């Protein structure tokens, strides 16, 4: 193992831990203001949307609304299953099956 | 103990989605000229997929400046500040050692799983611990697998297995959209994320979408409260 590589990894680990622990360390002193809590309640919905939508609409880094975008097709199916069945395992199972079938059949 | 197991069990579909990324990470590390030990150590200590991919790509392209790589990692992971802040009211009640263990293993995935369970059955630190560390070991082991198989699987993502993650996240998001404010937050986040993903570098679109959509949510909720 090279020393400079070790330094890079240690630096990456340190800043990553800072981003994960920083909010706790900073908020410990002040506590959470009420307006801040009201905003934070919506963070999960915002994060989930921000993770899902680009993964489905821009799988290759640019917007792809065509039928050859398997992520979008399988995603629409998964959304319908999620809405009607409310079951995470089933949503994932059917979604992934659709995705792999589209891939392997080369549709 | 039950909560630990439940957290790990609920993470199973996500673990399946993490594996191809971990394998890819191991393969990419070697391809970029890192030694097997360096690649695995990075996964063990950093545990941040997106940041690792981008930094490995930079290293492979001959960019080895310490400051540049560490700063890039910081920017990519800034979104965790928001997630940490959103969990802070619960986490700050725990002993420091648990706060550190939970913060170290906080990822997009374990955050999503934990908040999903919080909505249904209340926050549980054991549940978050089970989910986070199950994902940690999945990431570590799949990086090791990637290093071992090396050149045999040139591109695990080509199979489309990475779709497992958006699919599980959909299952978590859809039940949350049961009131007008949440739907508005989702729409703002969707538009911002798509525009951001197309035009902003790195993972900035997550921060942009998260900040703009949660502010809209906070403002809308305030107006509703005034109306009542």
Let me know whether A39 and A82 are in one domain.
yes
Nearest CA in chain A to B219: A39
* Pair A5, A41 in one domain: no
Q: A47 and A71 share a domain?
A: yes
Same domain, A24 and A67: no
pLDDT, chain B, mean: 89
Contact between A13 and B43 (Cβ < 8 Å): no
For residue B168, which of B9, B3, B17 has the smallest C-alpha distance?
B17
Which of B36, B86, B101 should be substituted to probe chain A, the one whose Cβ sees the most A Cβ atoms within 10 Å? B86
Partners of residue B13 in chain A, C-beta under 8 Å: 88-89, 92
In this predicted structure, the answer to whether residue A80 has a pLDDT above a threshold of 60 is yes
Radius of gyration for the alpha carbons in chain B, expressed in angstroms and rounded: 19
Confidence of residue A107 (pLDDT cuts 50, 70, 90): low
Residues A39 and A5 in one domain: no
- Mean of the pLDDT values across residues A28-40? 78
H/E run at residue B147? helix B125-149
Does any CB of chain A come closer than 8 Å to the CB of residue B161? yes
Residue A44 shares a structural domain with residue A91: yes
Give me the count of residues in chain B.
228
Domain identity same for A95 and A46: yes
pLDDT in tens, B1-52: 899 999 999 999 889 888 888 888 898 888 888 999 999 999 999 999 888 9
For residue A3, what are the contacts with CB-CB under 8 A and spacing of at least 6? Answer: none
User: Residue B226: its pLDDT value, please?
Assistant: 57
Are A26 and A40 found together in one domain? no
- Using only the alpha carbons of chain A, give its radius of gyration: 20
One domain for residues A72 and A42: yes
Question: Is A55 found in the same domain as A21?
Answer: no
Tell whether B46 is within 8 A of chain A (Cβ): yes
Size (chain A), residues: 107
CA distance A12 to A5: 11
A34 vs B: CB within 8 A: no
Residue A73 Cα, gap to closest chain B Cα (Å): 11
Number of domains in chain A: 2
Same domain, A38 and A23: no
Terminal-to-terminal C-alpha distance of chain B: 43
- Confidence check: pLDDT of B155 > 70: no
Percentage of chain B beyond pLDDT 70 is 95
84-123 in chain B: CB under 8 A from chain A = 84-86, 88-89, 91-92, 99-100, 103-104, 106, 108, 111-112, 115-116
pLDDT of B225 strictly over 70? no
pLDDT at site B228: 44
Residue A101 touches partner B, C-beta closer than 8 Å: no
- The domain in which residue A1 lies consists of 1-31
Tell whether A43 and A86 lie within a shared domain: yes
pLDDT at B156: 62
Report the alpha-carbon distance of residue B205 to residue B163 in Å, rounded.
19
């Amino acid at each position: 193992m090279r020393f400079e590589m070790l330094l890079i990894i240690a630096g990456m680990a340190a800043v990553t831990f800072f981003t994960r622990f920083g909010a706790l360390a900073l908020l410990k002193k002040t506590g959470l203001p009420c307006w801040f809590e009201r905003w934070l309640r919506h963070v999960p919905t915002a994060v989930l949307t921000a993770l899902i939508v680009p993964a489905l609409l821009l799988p290759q880094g640019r917007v792809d609304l065509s039928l050859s975008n398997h992520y979008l097709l399988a995603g629409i199916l998964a959304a319908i299953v999620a809405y009607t069945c409310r079951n995470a395992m089933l949503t994932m199972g059917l979604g992934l099956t659709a995705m792999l079938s589209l891939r392997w059949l080369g549709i | 103990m039950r909560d630990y197991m439940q957290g790990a069990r609920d993470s199973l579909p996500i673990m399946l989605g993490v594996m191809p990324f971990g394998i890819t990470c191991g393969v990419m590390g070697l391809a970029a000229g890192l030694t097997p030990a360096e690649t695995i150590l990075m996964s063990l200590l950093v545990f941040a997929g997106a940041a690792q991919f981008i930094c490995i790509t930079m290293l492979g392209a001959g960019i080895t400046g310490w400051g540049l790589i560490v700063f890039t990692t910081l920017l990519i992971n800034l979104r965790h500040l928001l997630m940490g802040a959103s969990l802070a009211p619960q986490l700050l009640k725990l002993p420091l050692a648990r706060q550190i263990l939970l913060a170290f293993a906080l990822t997009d995935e374990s955050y999503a799983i934990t908040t999903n369970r919080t909505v249904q059955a209340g926050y549980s630190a054991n549940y978050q611990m089970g989910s986070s560390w199950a994902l940690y070991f999945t990431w570590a082991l799949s990086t090791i697998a990637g290093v071992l198989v090396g050149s045999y699987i040139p591109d695990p993502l080509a199979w489309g297995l990475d779709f497992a993650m958006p699919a599980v996240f959909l299952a978590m998001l859809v039940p949350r959209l049961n009131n007008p404010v949440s739907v508005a937050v989702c729409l703002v986040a969707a538009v911002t994320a798509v525009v951001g993903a197309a035009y902003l570098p790195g993972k900035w679109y997550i921060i942009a979408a998260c900040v703009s959509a949660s502010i809209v949510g906070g403002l809308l909720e305030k107006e509703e409260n005034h109306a009542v």
